[in-house]
Chain A
Amino acid sequence: MKRILGIGLMLSLSLGAEKIAVIEIKGMSCPLCTVAVKRSLQKTPGVFKAKVKLNTRRATVRFQDDLNTSKLLEAIRAAGGYEGKILSVTPSAPQKH
């Protein structure tokens, strides 16, 4: 039993805790805007995955929990002057990246 717990602890330490942020984005006006935002988010150290939708004007970002969410908003701004607003941040089970 101790061995199993130990393996579990090692795994969570090596994978790190993750979070998911849902961000509202203002200023996206065409499908290509979503590409620019997605690329900018995914270039940010600590971001594992980003999905951006034009119809909802929202991004869903999976990131390392020690990353300050202000970095996500900076990345969105850097993509072309878009304005992001964090709607929610929730813990997520670590995934294979």
Chain B
Amino acid sequence: MQRRDFIISLSLGALATLLPLDANETAPSDIKAKGGATRRFHVVYDFDLHNPEGKGPFPARLWNPMPYNAPWQNVRILHFDGNQDLWNLNDDNAYDVPILYAQWRKGNIPKKLRIEMEIETKERSVPLKLIEEASKRHLPVPPSVRRFLEPTEHIPTDGKIKAKAEELTHGIDDRFKKVKKIYDWVTEVTFRDPKVIGCGIGHAGKMMDSGYFGGKCTDISSLFVALLRAAGIPAREVFGIRLGKSHFSKALGKADKEGVADITTWQHCRAEYYIPGAGWIPSDPADITKLELVEDRKYDDPRVQELKRRYLHSWEMNWVGFNWGRDFVLSPKPEQYPINMLGYPYAEVEDEPLDYYLPETFKYHIVSREIR
């Protein structure tokens, strides 16, 4: 049977039902994105999946992470076309991670898919005063958030993680003061190790056990999250991708004169912590270390300290978040599971995962253009 290429375009209303993960649901009191400029990006993913074993007919399956909806980020238009045999948009997994799934039968035809999105973002910052006042009230952690106190395989809350969290927060009752102690320590001891592949595995326990604090964004965010959870503060990594130019530093995102950027390898992991009464608070300890490395600055450099102050409670939104899933099983169930994180596209040919850290062999390509 001859396949038909197909095209799906979705309006904002349809997207609300198909990309259902809404950060507000898990953060009812979270402050709305406010004040800062709105930015819009036209983002195009191109997939042309290849068989790593070489020639011959092959089947393929693809799970691509999609942005969640929140006051600070919104997919306004979604359009995709390709020659897949099956597809769906689902959040059928333990973290409600929104995924675009596509599947191709065994065959020689190229496995192609293009996803186009228009994404609107707004600067996200929670005022320090609001956080401090909420923290003083010592409100209980809502049941829907308690899961973000639990350990996962890569985010242990016992052993050396527990011991360090207790050492750092000894004698402190106030949740936000605990966060600041842990944030100070993580941003000071960690450093960006450019030899780490991709965003890193994010094995906080291994990092603490080894005493080697070099890593990339998933490693550093995971350490931050593990220490916070061990100290009784709900926290999670947020996986996503940079979309374009940073107004703070080229180290944190850049684009050409037309606002175009090849973002194929710009996946970036951030973090959030939860203060009852204030909601989820954005943070990004890993970008402090990136600024230090790329701009060749020391930790006590005023510019580094300025970013550190900002990223305790805000995100620059030249980035879009996908999810906060760790160590979970995708749907439909892949051959290999659980997946330790889904910041990159994930695909399997036969029973073998394609290397998502090698987009040139996978193959995928992602381009973003800021709409001005």
Contact = CB atoms under 8 A, between A and B. Distances in A.
Contacts of B335: 53
Q: Which of A32, A38, A54 has the most CB of B within 10 A?
A: A32
Contact of A38 (B340, B346, B352): B352
A90 interface: no
Contact of A30 (B334, B339, B352): B339
A53 B201 CA distance: 18
B336 A29 contact: no
Contacts of A32: 353, 355-357
A35 interface: yes
Interface string B338-372: 11100000100001110111000000000000000
A34 B336 contact: yes
Nearest to A30: B340
Contact-size category for B: 10 to 19
Contacts of A34: 336, 352-353
Q: Which of B201, B203, B352, B356 has the most CB of A within 10 A?
A: B352
Contacts of B40: none
Given A29-B153, A54-B337, A35 B201 contact: no
A25 B334 CA distance: 20
Contacts of B339: 30-31
A31 B203 CA distance: 14
Judged by DSSP, the binding face of A is mixed
A55 interface: yes
A51 interface: yes
Contact of A53 (B203, B336, B340): B336
A75 to B, nearest CB: 17
B321 to A, nearest CB: 20
Nearest to B341: A30
Q: Which of B336, B337, B351 has the most CB of A within 10 A?
A: B336
A30 B355 CA distance: 11
A35 B203 contact: no
Interface of B: 153-154, 201, 203, 334-340, 346, 351-353, 355-357
20 contacts: A29-B154, A29-B201, A29-B203, A30-B201, A30-B339, A31-B336, A31-B339, A31-B346, A32-B355, A32-B356, A34-B336, A34-B352, A34-B353, A35-B352, A35-B353, A38-B352, A53-B336, A54-B336, A54-B338, A55-B336
